[in-house]
Amino acid sequence: MDQLKNLLTVAPDRIRSAIDLEALKEVENDLLGRKSLIAESRRSLASLPPEERPATGARLNQANEQLTALIAARRAELERAVEDDLLLGDRVDVTLPARALGSGWHHLVTQTLEEVADIFVSLGYGVVTGPEVDTAWHNFDALNTPPTHPARLESDTMYVGYGDPDDELLLRTQTSTMQVRYMEQHDPPVYIVAPGRCYRTDTLDATHSPVFHQIEGLAVDEHITMADLKGTLAYFMREFLGSERKIRLLPHFFPFTEPSAEMHVSCFNCDGSGCRVCSGSGWIELLGCGVVDPHVLEAVGYDSAKYSGFAFGVGAERLAMVRHGINHIKHFFENDSRVLRQFS
What does the H/E/C string look like for 74-120? HHHHHHHHHHHHHHHHHCCCCCCCCCCCCCCCCCHHHHHHHHHHHHH
Residue 272 has pLDDT above 80, yes or no: no
**Residue 97: how many CB atoms within 10 A of its CB?**
5
Residues 239 and 124 in one domain: yes
Q: Percentage of the chain with pLDDT > 70?
A: 98
3-state secondary structure of 7: helix
Has residue 255 been placed in a domain? yes
Name residue 132's amino acid: E
Residues 86 and 112 in one domain: no
Residues 81 and 132 in one domain: no
Residues 201 and 137 in one domain: yes
Residue at a domain's end among 90, 116, 134: 90
In the chain, the number of structural domains is: 2
Output the pLDDT for position 165. Answer: 64
User: In this predicted model, what pLDDT tens digit does every residue of 280-305 receive, in sequence order?
Assistant: 888 888 899 999 999 999 999 999 99
Confidence of residue 325 (pLDDT cuts 50, 70, 90): confident
Of 43-52, 249-258, 273-282, give the range with the top mean pLDDT.
Answer: 249-258
Residues 236 and 303 in one domain: yes
Has residue 101 been placed in a domain? no
Query: What is the average pLDDT value for the chain, to the nearest integer?
Result: 88
Residue 136 has pLDDT above 80, yes or no: yes
The pLDDT of 76-98, averaged and rounded, is 85
Residue 159 has pLDDT above 80, yes or no: yes
Output the pLDDT for position 246. Answer: 82
Residue at a domain's end among 32, 61, 90: 90
Output the pLDDT for position 341. Answer: 86
Has residue 23 been placed in a domain? yes
Output the pLDDT for position 66. Answer: 83
User: In this predicted model, what pLDDT tens digit does every residue of 200-225 receive, in sequence order?
Assistant: 998 888 878 999 999 999 999 999 99
**Of 265, 261, 289, the residue nearest 277 (C-alpha):** 265
Residues 116 and 164 in one domain: yes
Confidence of residue 51 (pLDDT cuts 50, 70, 90): confident
Residues 168 and 86 in one domain: no
Has residue 298 been placed in a domain? yes
DSSP 207-237: S--SEEEEEEEEEEETT--HHHHHHHHHHHH
Residue at a domain's end among 90, 123, 148: 90
289 bridge partner residues: 261, 312
Residue 277 has pLDDT above 70, yes or no: no
Separation CA 2–CA 24 (nearest Å):
25
- Which has more pLDDT, 339 or 232? 232
Output the pLDDT for position 229. Answer: 95
**For the stretch 216-234, what's the b/e string if a residue is b when 16 or more beta carbons lie within 10 angstroms of its beta carbon?**
bbbbbeeebebebbbebbe
3-state secondary structure of 148: coil
Domain that holds residue 286: 108-343
Output the pLDDT for position 321. Answer: 87
Pairing of strands 190-199, 126-127: parallel
**Of 180, 214, 181, the residue nearest 198 (C-alpha):** 214
The pLDDT of 96-105, averaged and rounded, is 81
Residue 238 has pLDDT above 80, yes or no: yes
Has residue 304 been placed in a domain? yes
Of 31-45, 65-79, 269-283, give the range with the top mean pLDDT.
Answer: 65-79
Separation CA 126–CA 118 (nearest Å):
10
Q: What pTM, to 2 d.p., does this model score? A: 0.68
Residue 194 has pLDDT above 80, yes or no: yes
Residues 79 and 143 in one domain: no
Residues 177 and 86 in one domain: no
> Are the C-beta atoms of residues 327 and 320 closer than 8 Å to each other?
no
Has residue 95 been placed in a domain? no
> Are the C-beta atoms of residues 242 and 232 closer than 8 Å to each other?
no
Has residue 103 been placed in a domain? no
The pLDDT of 45-55, averaged and rounded, is 81
Q: Residue 168 sits in a domain of what CATH number?
A: 3.30.930.10
Output the pLDDT for position 29. Answer: 87
Residues 137 and 84 in one domain: no
Output the pLDDT for position 274. Answer: 75
DSSP 34-78: TTSHHHHHHHTGGGS-TTTHHHHHHHHHHHHHHHHHHHHHHHHHH
Residues 86 and 200 in one domain: no
Separation CA 47–CA 97 (nearest Å):
74
Has residue 335 been placed in a domain? yes
Residues 9 and 119 in one domain: no
